[in-house]
Structure 1
Amino acid sequence: MTALSESVEVPAAPPRRRMPGWARGALAAAAAVAVLVVTSELTGEHQLTSSGTIQSAVRLLMPILLAGLGGLWAERAGVINLGLEGMMIMGTWGAAFCGLHWGLWAAILGGAVFGALGGLLHALATVTFGVNHIVSGVAITLLGAGLTKYLSTLIFEPVSRNPRQSPQLPGVDTYSVQPLGDWLGAVEDARLPVLADLAGLLRGVLTGFTPLVLLGFALVPLSYWILWRTRFGLRLRSCGENPYAAESLGVSVYAHKYAAVVISGALAGLGGAALVLNPGQLGYLENQTGGRGYIGLAAMIFGNWRPAGLLAGSALFGYVDGLQLRAGGAAVHALLYGASLLAVAVAVWWLYRRHWLAAGLAAAAGAVAYAVYYLSDTVPREFATYAPQLVTLVVLAVAAQRLRPPAADGLEYRRGSGD
């Protein structure tokens, strides 16, 4: 009996199928929308879901998204690009100069070209001369700030009478999906519970967008297709994982690294152009990047070096930035309530997965957020102003455990020196 029972094989349990990436992204987006709608209804702070807030968020996430895409291209090839901020600064000046002389599309091209020049300098330093990537990136940021200040004084001051800004650019056309936009506006103005919030969120995305917004969103799937679905992208990513193995297979590692870093600079320069061509700004202003190059780098890390995750991180930071600019401390204060709801949902998820420590930490974070919300009426203006930076720190701290950067990211490569 014992021998018979030992000879019978128990069928193995079928492997658990992982949820596709697109499904996880859609589920996360639906959860974020649900949290915003519930928070708006329970706190009465309807600016959280108003179409004006979402329009501001879309315009403000675009520089972060483009800078993050620039970081993604460079780091997938194994080059850390801490000079994104400097390349964005160069892009702002190039976009303003070309826009003043030749119009909108020249401004977009000028921002990309000036950013690409910064990328070329970074590639020359890191790929050809082996300069430390961090040192080179910091140097380019300082160089970009100093160079644009000099050029602004030389060229813009005689025209605008102000060395810190350019003359105002001609207006930028905005577009909307009609008549859907008008219908959503009527639903939002009617303030029907839940429906008004959903209409405001959707209307903010479908109305008031600029050509550069469309270009920026199109670059996300385009970057994914090139990097993950083409021979060039496979070779480029192999340079960031194991450049010596790529070299042994005949890949020109130097050429692919140069191409990636120059494209990285061009994308960061487009991020600068997005700031200059924002309908609320329309011109170059000294220090207008405000650290968005570094926030773009944080969004890329939050997205685990993937375009879809980068888009989610950029949307988060852009939304918080747009919210504090449009509604101030009261709306940021209401976000604490939403954060507590989200933390409870995360705690329930970890309980379902039987990760007790993670569930306890999430519940504790939710309790702290709700306590701050309950014990205060608003948040200080200084806190609201720096809310995007604070969200960046919190998100990176939470996401640090699941990150997987390219294996050779930041390592010096010399042809023929592999083991």
Structure 2
Amino acid sequence: MSESTSTVSMVSTAPKKGGGRRKLSLPVIMLIIAAGLALFSLVRVISGANDLTSVGQVAGALQLAVPIGLAGLGGLWAERAGVVNIGLEGMMILGTWFGAWAGYQWGPWTGVLLGIVGGALGGLLHAIMTVTFNVNHIVSGVAINILAVGVTRYLSNFTFADAEGGSSKQSPRIDQITEITIPGLSDWLADLQGRHWFFISDLAGVLGGLMTNLSLLTVLAILLIPGTWWVLWRTSFGLRLRSCGENPVAAESLGVNVYKYKYIAVVVSGALSGLGGAFLVIVSTGIYQEGQTGGRGYIGLAAMIFGNWMPGGMALGAGLFGFTDGLKLRGGAENVHAMLLLLALLLVLAFAWQLYKKKHWQAGISLGVAALLFAWYSLTDALPSQFVDAAPYVTTLLVLALSAQRLRMPKADGMPYKRGQGK
């Protein structure tokens, strides 16, 4: 009991930026979500981009957000224990290959299990290099990304190439996991969304997208977010793990086996990334293709940073990136063009807030950029296809740039540690 109490004290007294901000209550969070949805509805009405909050758009965004969210969740586990995991992309690649290899032979759920194992092997390798041998975390992560590409390409040459319907760069078709739809309610929400009423139709589109053709693996992935929060913030195990990322020397002095907790965290990190890879091949596409991760591991890392190393914030970041990625698949240039108006309105709100805070030059910049975006939106009818394709990555850069000032990473994140170094 005394060890847990001391660990709690050590973690809770870690320095915080921003003077210890109050946590948002559930009613306030719901009001923020409602205000955001109202803003989307206003943009939809003005721009005429009725697919912006449709059932199909929301369902597609959710499917695109899940692999990013799983990679981000994996990064959160590792970095909360003090290990930077740039290798999320490589672990996700291993998850795609192992998931596809097992999935087309023994069924989708076996593919999910082997995808998790493949990612966990990548996490184990990263843990051995960084925790045991104190290799620089960035160097180790980059090496795993390169190694994963080479290994999966080599394995594909003598597994998928000889299989019926496969080749050296793709697997045969994999059976789908069961999808669930709430009968009656889904159809009613889709009909309500099709009426294009202000706010009501947008709310119906969001709810309908969360209830229509929902894979069981998607439900599992969503449940992992509150599950991670509960384990890391409501159990003694989680407190000890987080203490390793804040002050491993102090944690060791309290009897915490820092090596063990770092190993567990990084292996779990790899397993979650591998699950994201398995989701890509089994749920999103139904087939393995070389290079299909498309940098989602890196975007997951960006979502984790945007979320300030917290599961809820990470989920919001993954949803944002998934939604932006989905815009180019449904409506393409028209939807992305409407987002110019949304960004302009958000900057106007930022201008008012910064003016209220008496940050005059920041307010002036926000107003100037908002004016440019309004002009761009008014003078054009569509955007170049290259900009549409780049939208998810541009969003990643903008979000990280705008959120950088409020971030606080774990204090010992990425720092080398050797057992007994505090003696």
* Bigger shift: residues 27-36 or 207-216: 27-36
Once residues 198 and 241 of structure 2 are traced to their aligned partners in structure 1, the CA distance between those partners, rounded to angstroms, is: 50
> How far did 1:21 drift?
5.0
Answer whether contact 2:115 2:274 (CA < 8 A) is retained: yes
Match of 1:264 in 2: 269
- Which of these two proteins has the greater Rg computed from alpha carbons? 1
Match of 1:3 in 2: none
Aligned residues: 404
Select 2:245's aligned residue among 235, 240, 257. 240
Match of 2:16 in 1: none
Once residues 190 and 24 of structure 1 are traced to their aligned partners in structure 2, the CA distance between those partners, rounded to angstroms, is: 29
Match of 2:3 in 1: none
Determine helix, strand or coil for the equivalent of 2:328. helix
* Bigger shift: residues 177-186 or 109-118: 177-186
Determine helix, strand or coil for the equivalent of 1:415. coil
Once residues 128 and 389 of structure 1 are traced to their aligned partners in structure 2, the CA distance between those partners, rounded to angstroms, is: 34
> How far did 1:170 drift?
1.3
Q: 1:43 to 1:91 in 2, by over 3 A?
A: same
Q: 1:414 to 1:41 in 2, by over 3 A?
A: same
- Map Cα deviations across residues 57-114 of structure 1 (whole Å, 9 max, x no partner): 0000000000000000000000000000000000001111111122121121111110
Determine helix, strand or coil for the equivalent of 1:206. coil
Matches within 5 A, 1:277-356: 277-279=282-284, 281-356=285-360
Answer whether contact 2:81 2:243 (CA < 8 A) is retained: yes
Once residues 133 and 79 of structure 1 are traced to their aligned partners in structure 2, the CA distance between those partners, rounded to angstroms, is: 7
The one-letter code sitting in structure 1 at the alignment partner of 2:30 is A
Once residues 19 and 272 of structure 1 are traced to their aligned partners in structure 2, the CA distance between those partners, rounded to angstroms, is: 33
* Bigger shift: residues 358-367 or 242-251: 358-367
1:366 aligns with 2:370: yes
Once residues 124 and 307 of structure 1 are traced to their aligned partners in structure 2, the CA distance between those partners, rounded to angstroms, is: 26
The one-letter code sitting in structure 1 at the alignment partner of 2:327 is L
Once residues 81 and 264 of structure 1 are traced to their aligned partners in structure 2, the CA distance between those partners, rounded to angstroms, is: 8
Answer whether contact 1:41 1:194 (CA < 8 A) is retained: no
Select 2:186's aligned residue among 169, 181, 185. 181
Determine helix, strand or coil for the equivalent of 1:237. helix
Answer whether contact 2:37 2:199 (CA < 8 A) is retained: no
1:91 aligns with 2:121: no
Select 1:155's aligned residue among 151, 155, 159. 159
> How far did 1:204 drift?
1.0
Q: Percent identity of the aligned residues? A: 52
Answer whether contact 2:38 2:199 (CA < 8 A) is retained: no
Which blocks of at least 5 consecutive residues in structure 2 are unaligned?
1-18
Q: 1:21 to 1:146 in 2, by over 3 A?
A: farther
> How far did 1:19 drift?
5.5
User: C-alpha root-mean-square deviation of aligned residues, in Å?
Assistant: 1.7
Select 2:113's aligned residue among 84, 109, 116. 109
Which blocks of at least 5 consecutive residues in structure 1 are unaligned?
1-14
Q: 1:39 to 1:309 in 2, by over 3 A?
A: same
